[in-house]
């Protein structure tokens, strides 16, 4: 009897029963379309990150429950998870997996988002390795690419929605640029594929250098809200001259295969695409601040000019009015610069394809 139990546990521990799914723009429609076709006896646990604004109220579990045989709910910090259930990251919180339980935290944003797809995928890969099925769906930019790379590196299966089938193809296309996915399928085939994969026995886990595992452990701890600087994240990559657009901390460059990422010493994380998008957005904000400062200066100079006119000091008044006009011209230059300023990201290659 003991032998049978031992054998059963061993087999169970090697099934691909941990499914992590990441989606952004278009995901609210894509996710229910997948889950409504999953069978009631689905053997895996499903964990979902859907990008939303930090102040948005999510009703994704309710939407999924309208047509799903599997119950969906928001993940709760410290809660144990069960097979045949769908757990959704709450808005403005990371969802991190530990052995048998979930951590819901407000750690630093990754790729401008919390919850982060990469944070979920990374934690699943680190804890469950070859038992993980990672799925990247529709969305902008490239959250999920680094996490999917980690899933594959630690022996998990990688699945990407066919970009030509996605409402927004950028996120799947970015993932395929850096990860040779095991499966690239349209949305309509995902439910049957996941059902099949979760019944497969996983192969033996690959050997991964200890340094890579240590860095993964630190990054997962950061997402849980541990102190990135004290944990030595700066020493895990190459310190750069760039600064974090969120907190202006020093950025360290991290390399994963052909993928380049950045982390600041306070914990924020960026891919090249998300960093470029954030930097160009902050430039627009700075331009508006400059324009505001110049216009305030012009108003002050005009006010002083009016004062000196009223006190019958025409020469001084003329000087202030002249400076007010010059400052107004500078403000107009900055104003015009704002309207030609282009917000950029590493997805320029995809934007060019769309224009052809």
CB 171 within 8 A of CB 177: no
CB neighbourhood size of 331 (10 A)? 19
**Distance between terminal CA atoms of the chain?**
66
142 classed as catalytic: no
CB 32 within 8 A of CB 59: no
**Exposure of 337 in the CB half-sphere (CA atoms within 13 A):** 16
248 classed as catalytic: no
CB 166 within 8 A of CB 137: yes
- Tokens at 161, concatenated: 């929605």
Residue with tokens 């993928």: 259
CB 169 within 8 A of CB 350: yes
Q: Rounded to an integer, what distance in angstroms lies between the CA atom of residue 197 and that of residue 10?
A: 18
Candidate list 143, 162, 165, 170, residue with the active-site label: 143
Candidate list 17, 51, 118, 273, residue with the active-site label: 51
183 classed as catalytic: no
Q: Which residues are catalytic?
A: 24, 51, 143
């Amino acid at each position: 009897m003991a032998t049978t139990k031992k054998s059963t546990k061993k087999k169970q521990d090697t099934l691909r029963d941990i499914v992590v799914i990441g989606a952004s723009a278009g995901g609210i429609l894509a996710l229910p379309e997948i889950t409504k076709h999953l069978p009631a006896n689905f053997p895996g646990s499903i964990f979902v990150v859907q990008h939303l604004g930090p102040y948005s109220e999510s009703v994704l579990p309710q939407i999924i429950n309208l047509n799903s045989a599997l119950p969906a709910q928001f993940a709760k910090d410290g809660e144990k998870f069960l097979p045949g259930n769908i757990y959704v990251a709450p808005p403005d919180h990371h969802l991190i997996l530990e052995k048998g339980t979930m951590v819901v935290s407000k750690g630093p944003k990754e790729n401008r988002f919390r919850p982060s797809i990469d944070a979920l995928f990374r934690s699943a890969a680190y804890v469950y390795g070859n038992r993980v099925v990672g799925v990247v769906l529709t969305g902008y930019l490239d959250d999920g690419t680094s996490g999917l790379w980690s899933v594959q590196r630690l022996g998990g299966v990688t699945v990407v929605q066919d970009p030509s089938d996605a409402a927004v193809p950028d996120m799947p296309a970015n993932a395929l640029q850096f990860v040779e996915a095991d499966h690239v399928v349209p949305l309509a085939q995902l439910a049957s594929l996941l059902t099949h994969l979760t019944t497969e026995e996983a192969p033996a886990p690959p050997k991964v250098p200890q340094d890579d595992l240590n860095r993964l452990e630190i990054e997962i701890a950061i997402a849980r809200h541990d102190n990135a600087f004290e944990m030595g994240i700066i020493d895990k990559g190459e310190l750069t001259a760039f600064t974090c657009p969120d907190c202006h901390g020093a950025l360290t460059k991290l390399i994963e295969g052909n993928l380049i990422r950045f982390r600041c010493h306070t914990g924020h994380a960026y891919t090249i695409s998300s960093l470029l998008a954030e930097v160009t957005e902050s430039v627009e904000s700075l331009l508006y601040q400059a324009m505001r400062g110049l216009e305030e200066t012009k108003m002050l100079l005009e006010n002083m000019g009016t004062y000196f006119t009223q006190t019958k000091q025409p020469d001084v008044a003329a000087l202030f009015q002249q400076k007010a006009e010059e400052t107004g011209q500078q403000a107009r230059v900055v104003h015009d610069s704002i309207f030609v300023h282009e917000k950029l990201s590493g997805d320029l290659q995809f934007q060019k394809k769309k224009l052809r």
